[in-house]
Amino acid sequence: MDDPAEALSKAIEDGTAVVGVIGLGYVGLPLIDAFTTADFQTMGFDVDQAKVTQLLDGESYIGHISSERIKELVESKRFVPTSDMSRLVEVDVIIICVPTPLSASRDPDLTYVRATTETIVKYLRPGQLVVLESTTYPGTTRSVLLPILESSGLVAGEDFFLAYSPEREDPGNPQFSARGIPKVVGGIDSKSQAIAKSIYERAVVSLVPVSSPEVAEACKIMENVYRSVNIAMVNEMKILFDRLGIDIWEVIEAAKTKPFGFQAFYPGPGLGGHCIPIDPFYLSWVARSHGLSTRFIELAGEVNRSMPHYVVEGVTKALNERGKPVRGSRICLLGVAYKKDVDDPRESPAFELFDLLRAAGAELSYNDPHIPSLPQMRQHDVPDLQSEPLTQEYLADQDCVLISTDHSAYDYDFIVEHAPLVIDTRNACRDVQRGREKIHKC
């Protein structure tokens, strides 16, 4: 029998290795695209049969992966979507891209990671590489995945191989696809590291090998803590500068002319996306389990979570100045995706704004060219609404238009011209010249 490491390395080298990706969402599907571009055969696994059926029909549900691309890959058999997990025996590389949310008490919820690993172990065979890409706390690969996988009787580093490589997707950023972002890789042992390195270096622009899975896991957490803390800082400064009558956006534009020592971060109505609002709390949990505190992380989370309340206070004040209470006012949320020009609503602050404004009695509607109907969210009571067309009549009929996501598709001159009041949380109307008296930055 061939040595498992040699056999897998040879399959990767000659391009015959089959890459399987579990979780066909905003991380998994771009990975499929990257590996097929590198001429690997791929299989995509997802428990959501509706997703699998859509992909088999050649239809994409992610904006930056076109339906034409999906159709091409499926028809050429280079990508085989399936919900049949028993077919994991057919692949040589198994990459896990499942959600890692927080529990109600803001502790790590590894339900999906554990369940996926317990499924993998049923079909694990010698000569396979398993890689976790889901963001998690340092130690997960070694303390959670490794014992489950070795319960098969196979030994890591000898029979199968195990590594961690954090996802670094930036949806909506055309400059960086999955192939164009350097990949951090940490193997559980030297053989796992070498094999993981050999498969990823075929599919991405460059590789960043590190000494262990723990370093790779910590790297991803640090990246997101860095953003969370700096966004919280600028959000706090926005509140202060508003009180002082200073435009935070003008301050940032002036500050970023300094060619060193400053990186621009921008305020907003709250944090969104799967990473930044969630991942820092994984590190806080680890710190508590070791008797330590992470004051910067906790404070940043407190500031960022408060921003939807600050925005609603701004809406209330602006409506009051026009003699209108929030209760009964018709308010349109402009944009419900968590960032501009994407179709991803995960953890979007728009849903917290919906909750707060509904509780205050507002009559709500929304528009988002990327999200035609509001999806259900685990932690929010989402109204059953469809995206409204931004006609002159619709805008004029609103008491307030609240810009929560600054999509490029919006004609802000048209919106300000026809809406009676615009609350701008993103400085989206900075270039609008007419009707500026109707714009309130918040």
User: Tens digit of pLDDT for each residue in 206-237?
Assistant: 999 999 999 999 999 999 899 999 999 999 99
The two structure tokens encoding residue 88: 């994991």
pLDDT at 165: 97
Q: pLDDT band at residue 161, thresholds of 50, 70 and 90?
A: very high
- Residue 282: what pLDDT? 82
CB atoms under 10 Å from CB of 337, counted, come to 25
Q: Which residues of 59-93 are buried (b: 16+ CB within 10 A; e: fewer)?
A: ebbbbbbeeebbbebbeeebbbbbbebeebeebbb
Give me the CATH topology for the region 248-441.
Answer: Rossmann fold (3.40.50)
When mean pLDDT is compared across 76-80, 137-141, 177-181, 255-259, the lowest value belongs to: 177-181
pLDDT of residue 389: 97
Say yes or no to pLDDT of 1 above 60.
no
Question: What is the pLDDT at residue 384?
Answer: 87
Question: What are residue 305's phi and psi, to 5 degrees?
Answer: -70, -20
256 and 264 Cβ atoms separated by less than 8 Å: yes
The lowest-confidence range among 271-280, 290-299, 311-320, 387-396 is: 271-280
As annotated, the residues of the chain forming the CATH 3.40.50.720 domain(s) are 4-211, 248-441
- 332 is an active site residue: no
Average pLDDT over residues 334-347: 91
List C-alpha distances in Å: 155 to 4, 17, 21, 23, 149: 11, 21, 22, 25, 8
Q: How confident is the model at residue 376 (pLDDT cuts 50, 70, 90)?
A: confident
pLDDT, tens only, 348-370: 999 999 999 999 999 999 999 99
* C-beta separation of 110 from 101 below 8 A: no
First-to-last C-alpha distance (Å) of the chain: 67
User: Is residue 357 within 8 Å of residue 331, measured between CB atoms?
Assistant: yes
pLDDT in tens, 415-441: 999 999 999 999 999 999 999 999 999
Average pLDDT of 257-262?
Answer: 95
- Selection from 144, 114, 136, 284 nearest residue 218 by Cα: 136
- Residue of 97, 275, 332, 429 marked active site: 275
CA angle 329, 334, 335 (to 5 degrees): 140
Residue 391 has pLDDT above 60, yes or no: yes
CA 81 to chain centre: 22
Check residue 393 and give its pLDDT: 97
Query: What number is the average pLDDT over the span 48-68?
Result: 93
Which candidate, 100, 95, 112, 116, places its Cα nearest to that of 44? 95
In CATH, what number does 4-211 get? Answer: 3.40.50.720
pLDDT confidence of residue 301: 87
Residue where the block lists tokens 């006012």:
329
DSSP 385-414: -BPPP--HHHHHH-SEEEE-S--TT--HHH
CB 373 within 8 A of CB 302: no
The whole-number pLDDT of residue 171 equals 67
Q: pLDDT grade, residue 172 (50/70/90)?
A: low
307: its two tokens: 């921003």
Kindly state the DSSP code that residue 139 receives in the 8-state scheme. Answer: T
Question: Distance between CA 176 and CA 164 in Å, rounded?
Answer: 21
